[in-house]
């Protein structure tokens, strides 16, 4: 098997676990099997075909990562999309880094690699966290530490798995954001959750509007000149998911366009203390 020098990025990611001092080996594509811990389930066929055409033209520029199994076979750790496209392009050999990982480390790295590339939808990500916790007895805090997320972020994504299948499909298709879907968990029946989810998708309701609807209030229609941009809405959703509480962002106008406030809502002393612990933890890092 031909050996090549490893590129800097992957060397930094996998560190001392690399086989033969950071060299890349050309391995038969038929000798590699998929990773059972691969969290990503949705591989876009058109995107794979496009990558395959690029590989035919320029070759595979970034190696996959594998671990050695029995009978001279290998199991993918990272790079399944590149591996699938390489096979589609007809490659018989593929550049691969061989690492020495046990099952738990292989599962963690498969998840981290996908998170770094932002390849996962919220349901895939939540399922991956849940599987790590159930299989290896990890706490939400331990999982959060391993993947570089906050504990409330992990907890909220795992909780989304309790939603009905139709709502999870909205999340998979990115028709709903986690921030929009999370308040639905407080509704008593599956029918109510699905009904409101359909309305959110149909009307494009923000996470804050959903919260107000569930509290029994009719959301006020914002004046056109004070409407928050879609970018700010997405930031509110992401921040709210991270701290586990509703977040509002308000920005100024004219000369004050670069000024504003970020507000985090809490219902009681315990929730206030939980939010303060999260903020203090972030500050100490």
Instruction: Tally DSSP H helices, then E strands, for the chain.
Output: 13, 8
Question: Which spans in the chain are helix H?
Answer: 8-14, 45-58, 80-88, 103-116, 122-136, 140-147, 151-159, 165-172, 178-181, 190-203, 207-214, 230-243, 269-284
| Burial environment of residue 248 by CB neighbours within 10 A (0 to 12, 13 to 18, 19 or more) | middle
Does residue 271 carry a catalytic annotation? Answer: no
The answer to whether the beta carbons of residues 5 and 22 sit under 8 Å apart is yes
Which single residue is written with the structure tokens 């100024």?
252
For residue 65, list its beta bridge partners. Answer: 78, 97
Say whether 272 sits in a helix, a strand or coil.
helix
Q: What is the DSSP letter of 76?
A: E
Structure tokens at 170: 């909205």
Residues across the chain: 285
Helix axes 140-147, 122-136, angle to 10 degrees: 120
**Out of 75, 80, 236, 271, which one is annotated catalytic?**
80
What burial class does residue 185 get, using C-beta atoms within 10 Å of its C-beta: 0-12 exposed, 13-18 middle, 19+ buried? middle
**Please, are residues 25 and 19 in contact by the beta-carbon 8 Å criterion?**
yes
Residues taking part in catalysis:
80
């Amino acid at each position: 098997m031909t050996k090549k020098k490893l590129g800097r990025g992957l060397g930094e990611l996998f560190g001392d676990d690399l086989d033969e001092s950071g060299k890349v080996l050309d391995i038969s594509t038929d000798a590699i099997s998929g990773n059972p811990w691969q969290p990503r389930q949705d591989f876009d066929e058109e995107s794979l075909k496009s990558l395959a055409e690029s590989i035919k033209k320029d070759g595979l520029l970034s190696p996959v990562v594998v671990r050695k199994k029995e009978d001279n076979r290998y199991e993918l750790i990272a790079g399944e999309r590149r591996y699938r496209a390489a096979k589609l392009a007809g490659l018989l050999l593929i550049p691969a880094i061989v690492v020495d990982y046990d099952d738990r480390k292989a599962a963690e790295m498969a998840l981290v690699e996908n998170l770094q590339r932002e390849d996962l939808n919220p349901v895939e990500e939540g399922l991956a966290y849940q599987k790590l916790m159930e299989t290896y007895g990890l706490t939400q805090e331990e999982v959060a530490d391993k993947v570089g997320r906050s504990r409330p972020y992990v907890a909220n994504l795992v909780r989304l798995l309790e939603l009905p299948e139709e709502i999870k499909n909205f999340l998979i298709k990115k028709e709903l954001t986690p921030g929009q879907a999370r308040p639905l968990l407080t509704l008593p029946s599956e029918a109510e959750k699905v009904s409101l989810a359909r309305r959110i998708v149909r009307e494009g309701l923000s996470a804050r509007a959903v919260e107000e609807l569930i509290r029994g209030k009719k959301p006020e229609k914002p004046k056109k000149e004070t409407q928050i941009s879609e970018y700010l809405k997405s930031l509110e959703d992401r921040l709210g998911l991270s701290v586990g509480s509703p977040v509002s962002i308000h920005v100024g106008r004219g000369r004050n366009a670069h000024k504003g406030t970020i507000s985090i809502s809490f219902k009681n002393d315990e929730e206030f203390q939980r939010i303060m612990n999260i903020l203090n933890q972030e500050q100490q890092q």
